[in-house]
Every structure is written in structure tokens, then in C-alpha cells.
Amino acid sequence: MANRFTLYATLLLLFTSSTLMVMGGSENNLRPTKTCEEGTPEYGYCKDKNCNAECVKKYPKKGTVGFCYYIRDPIYSTCLCQYPC
């Protein structure tokens, strides 16, 4: 009986601590972060690698990301920069 109680207590403790860790870890994602976007559609294809380098050069703040965004027809694309405001 004592062994069964110890087992249940240990499992409950493990479950509670892991749940709290998951909840605590996701708390950072809920904080509002202000992000600005900039990009104009152009005719032609764009490459994510070049776009990212271009955006980092344009907005040298930490957290700047550039990626290609295709609008309806893949021939029209925009190099979209996301950066902290």
C-alpha cells in the first residue's frame, strides 16, 4: 500500500512540475511584441536568402527577418521585411 501511494505521489509531482514548466515557457510567447512590416510587390521571383540579407542591411535591429511573399500569381512577389518597431 505504501509503495502504491509513493508511486501515485511521484507521478502527480512529475505531472504538476512538467505542466508548470510548459505553462511558464509559453508565457513569453504571450507578451505583445510590436512588429512592423515593409515590402512592395514586384514582378518576378525573389529568393529568401537574398531577401533576408537585404532586410537585415536595411533594418539592422536584432530580430529582423526577410522572406519572400507571393501574391496570388507566383510571378508577383514581394520581399517582406519584418522588424521590431
d(CA 79, CA 34): 20
- Higher-scoring residue by pLDDT: 32, 21: 32
CB 7 within 8 A of CB 58: no
Q: Please provide the CATH number assigned to the domain covering 33-85.
A: 3.30.30.10
Q: What is the pLDDT of residue 49?
A: 86
**Over 50: is that where the pLDDT of 25 sits?**
no
pTM higher than the cut 0.85: no
Mean pLDDT of the chain: 72
Q: What is the pLDDT of residue 74?
A: 64
Q: How confident is the model at residue 12 (pLDDT cuts 50, 70, 90)?
A: very low
Q: How confident is the model at residue 28 (pLDDT cuts 50, 70, 90)?
A: very low
